[in-house]
Amino acid sequence: MPLAENLAAVEARIVAACDRVGRRRESVRLLPVSKTHPTSDIAECYGAGVRWFAENKVQELAAKASELADLSELNWSFIGHLQTNKARDVAAHAHEFQALDSLRVAEALDRRLQGLGRGLDVLIEVDTSGEESKFGVAPDAVVDLARALGTYSSLRLTGLMTVAANTSDQAVVGRCFDTMAGLRGRVRDALGGGCDDLSMGMSGDFELAIEHGSTCVRVGSAIFGARSYAEEPLCSPQSVG
């Protein structure tokens, strides 16, 4: 199926989910996860009006950003676990980082961003499932990390991100999403506002996420098709849409 048709099908599902809970379609950002797919697919989606894409490998982000540099309205979100020694490329190429999970990473990013004269929107990744394959901050540590990020002037905390439990039980997945909504309220109270974004929901659960308040859904396979994970040991398939 052509990518434009896949995008239209996902769009229809987003609209239907918003309608079910009385939300405006504009309150949800679709973030296509282009991991492992060629830049020609990204260019095709860009031609269909998509302006944001996500990657979760630093090398892939840097390579694709460089190759597609002529697409002036293209924005990149990095959604993968970040090691401090790779902060330079994220600082140079990303417009958003959705997987901040430590002050060490915040410090490394801030130092690189200061050198480049750039700022970066960041979301704190929260481990709402407790599964060993997942990254993220424990829920009870989120507020403290959010407060501490105020030290880094180049980082703009815009919200929270999670990968829900890897289960078909919608009640369990829904509890992960509800945890995020509660944490957002606590962070807002602690900071006096802000932290509006909730990035949660992927190809298998984004409709449920929207019904629980998600403002950004990370959708990969439903748009681009299946991926191969044979050479990707650091990130489980369910973590990227």
Alpha-helical runs (H) found in the chain = 3-20, 39-47, 58-67, 87-93, 103-116, 142-148, 170-191, 206-211, 221-224
Please state the pTM of the whole predicted model.
Answer: 0.92
Confirm if 149 and 157 have CB atoms less than 8 A apart: yes
Give pLDDT, residue 232.
43
Give pLDDT, residue 240.
53
The domains located in the chain, with CATH, are: 3-240 (3.20.20.10)
Give pLDDT, residue 1.
56
Spell out the per-residue pLDDT of the chain, length 241, in tens: 589 999 999 999 999 999 999 999 999 999 999 999 999 999 999 999 999 999 999 999 999 999 999 999 999 999 999 999 999 999 999 999 999 999 999 999 999 999 999 999 999 999 999 998 899 999 999 999 999 999 999 999 999 999 999 999 999 999 999 999 999 999 999 999 999 999 999 999 999 999 999 999 999 999 999 875 544 433 333 445 6
Q: In angstroms, rounded to a whole number, what is the distance separating the alpha carbons of residues 33 and 199?
A: 13
Give pLDDT, residue 237.
38
Q: In angstroms, rounded to a whole number, what is the distance separating the alpha carbons of residues 47 and 28?
A: 21
Give pLDDT, residue 226.
83
Per-residue pLDDT reduced to its tens digit, 15-36: 999 999 999 999 999 999 999 9
- Nearest by Cα to 219 from 14, 2, 1, 4: 14
Tokens of 56: 């979760």
User: How distant, in Å, are the alpha carbons of 111, 159, 160, 214 from that of 184?
Assistant: 27, 7, 7, 11
